[in-house]
Amino acid sequence: LHTHSLTAYKQGHNTGTINQSPGPDMARTQKNKATAHHLGLLKARLAKLRRELITPKGGSGGGTGEGFDVAKTGDARIGFVGFPSVGKSTLLSNLAGVYSEVAAYEFTTLTTVPGVIRYKGAKIQLLDLPGIIEGAKDGKGRGRQVIAVARTCNLILIVLDVLKPLGHKKLIEHELEGFGIRLNKQPPNIGFKKKDKGGINFTATCAQSELDADTVKSILAEYKIHNADITLRSDATADDLIDVVEGNRVYIPCIYVLNKIDQISIEELDIIYKVPHCVPISAHHRWNFDDLLEKIWDYLKLVRIYTKPKGQLPDYTSPVVLPDGRTAVEDFCLKIHKNLIKEFKYALVWGSSVKHNPQKVGKDHILEDEDVIQLVKK
Ligand SMILES: *[C@@H]1O[C@H](CO)[C@@H](O)[C@H](O)[C@H]1NC(C)=O
């Protein structure tokens, strides 16, 4: 039974990119230039309908507040998604059990219990995203909250049962896509600027296999946009264009955790190991947690900065941890205290981000993982 799904993993998932799985109506439509036009329109209409799910509503039921409160307790947040009985809760409790420093606590509005683990000096929040598949569809109450929290995660772990059909992976990916979450993807390289007049100014800097000026125009018309500069700088799809126009997409790295490897053969395990973004584990036996944590660390791209008080050795025990993309000296100061930057004169930095050790830098200097910093105040 499971050999079938393993073969599918091997054959269908070697690119590392995730395609949005189309609904039955879309799948039937042949993908040639003429129908690409209609397909584009259909997708734009769907995207507009789904916007309801993503946009937090004012007042009750919006549910973003709870999510952001939780963020304060950690340097990064990982959301766990999976169908019931794939071993998600075993994984959560065993991971938290081994590495947890902070006791798990009730996260009442979502009825989930996040654990906070400490790994390489960083506090990482493990957050169960319950019922993301079943509950979220209606777009109401708890479903909306879970979506809002999912969108704030720095990493998503999709937990799969290695013995179950591959279709589950697609289903979850499709649901998350519907909430404006893009997994292991970069934002599309499309320039988009709305204007007051001049019509649609369409430019493509490379060959396009799906989009042409007419299709772009009708998709934009669907959004009542009739004047804009559009520049396609990569071979873009209608989905890419819609993502740029909608503008509310979040790009989150994702790891597929393939659980229950204690029930497959070594040969099958070899196949799984070749699947991009995958880590095989046994949550029950705590097998391969080292590998999983190492991959989590890679994907989070956190930056650890050690502080060095003047005349003392650096403090290597409790680094200041910054997220990827927010690692300027100014961000470091902000993470310590919101007013610190006002007293900032310059900083001395040791490590891979500088040519000389130490080097005098300003607040815009970009720090790298494991740099040592000493602040000099005015
Ligand atoms: C069309 O768009 C390009 C790229 O954004 C821009 O450089 C150019 O000035 C635009 N042309 C007109 C006529 O607006």
Structure tokens at 217: 């125009």
In a shared domain, residues 130 and 212: no
In a shared domain, residues 179 and 290: yes
In a shared domain, residues 169 and 229: no
The verdict on residue 70 lying in a domain is: no
In a shared domain, residues 179 and 195: no
In a shared domain, residues 371 and 236: no
Q: What is the pLDDT of residue 313?
A: 92
Q: Which atom of ligand 1 is nearest to the CA of 193?
A: 5
Q: Is the CB of 227 under 6 A from ligand 1?
A: no
In a shared domain, residues 269 and 120: yes
92: Cα within 13 Å, side-chain hemisphere: 27
In a shared domain, residues 192 and 166: no
Q: What is the pLDDT of residue 168?
A: 86
Q: Is the separation of the CB atoms in 48 and 205 below 8 Å?
A: no
Domain end marker among 246, 271, 287: 246
**CATH code: domain of residue 288:** 3.40.50.300
The verdict on residue 67 lying in a domain is: no
In a shared domain, residues 233 and 256: no
Angstrom distances, CA of residue 116 to CA of 105, 298, 365: 9, 18, 30
In a shared domain, residues 215 and 330: no
The verdict on residue 332 lying in a domain is: yes
Q: Is the CB of 167 under 6 A from ligand 1?
A: no
Q: Is the separation of the CB atoms in 227 and 199 below 8 Å?
A: yes
Question: The whole model's pTM is what?
Answer: 0.79
In a shared domain, residues 294 and 373: no
The verdict on residue 71 lying in a domain is: no
The verdict on residue 151 lying in a domain is: yes
**CATH code: domain of residue 368:** 3.10.20.30
> DSSP strand E in the chain: where?
76-81, 100-102, 115-119, 122-128, 155-161, 181-183, 190-194, 200-204, 228-232, 250-252, 254-259, 278-280, 303-307, 320-322, 344-350, 359-361, 371-377
Domain end marker among 246, 281, 316: 246
Q: Is the CB of 205 under 6 A from ligand 1?
A: no
Residue 145, H or E segment? helix 141-150
> In this structure, how many other beta carbons lie within 10 angstroms of the beta carbon of residue 26?
16
Domain end marker among 246, 261, 281: 246
- Substitution site in 201, 216, 244 for ligand 1 pocket (most atoms within 8 Å of beta carbon): 201
Query: For residue 220, with 0-12 CB atoms within 10 Å meaning exposed, 13-18 middle and 19 or more buried, which class applies?
Result: buried
DSSP category for residue 134: T
Note down the domain range covering 311. Answer: 303-377
Q: What is the pLDDT of residue 27?
A: 54
The verdict on residue 62 lying in a domain is: no
Residue 159: phi, psi to the nearest 5? Answer: -95, 125
Tens-digit pLDDT string for the chain (378 aa): 344 444 444 444 433 333 445 555 555 554 566 677 777 888 888 888 777 767 665 443 333 444 434 455 688 999 998 887 888 888 988 888 765 554 444 443 444 556 788 899 998 988 888 766 554 455 555 567 777 888 889 999 999 999 887 788 888 898 888 889 999 999 999 999 999 999 999 999 999 999 999 999 999 999 999 999 999 999 999 999 999 999 999 999 999 999 999 998 888 888 888 889 999 999 999 999 999 999 999 999 999 999 999 899 999 988 999 988 789 999 999 998 889 999 999 999 999 999 999 999 999 999 999 999 999 999
Structurally, how many domains does the chain consist of? 3
Structure tokens at 169: 């992976």
| Helix intervals (H) in 151-231 | 167-178, 213-222
In a shared domain, residues 97 and 142: yes
In a shared domain, residues 34 and 149: no
Q: Is the CB of 229 under 6 A from ligand 1?
A: yes
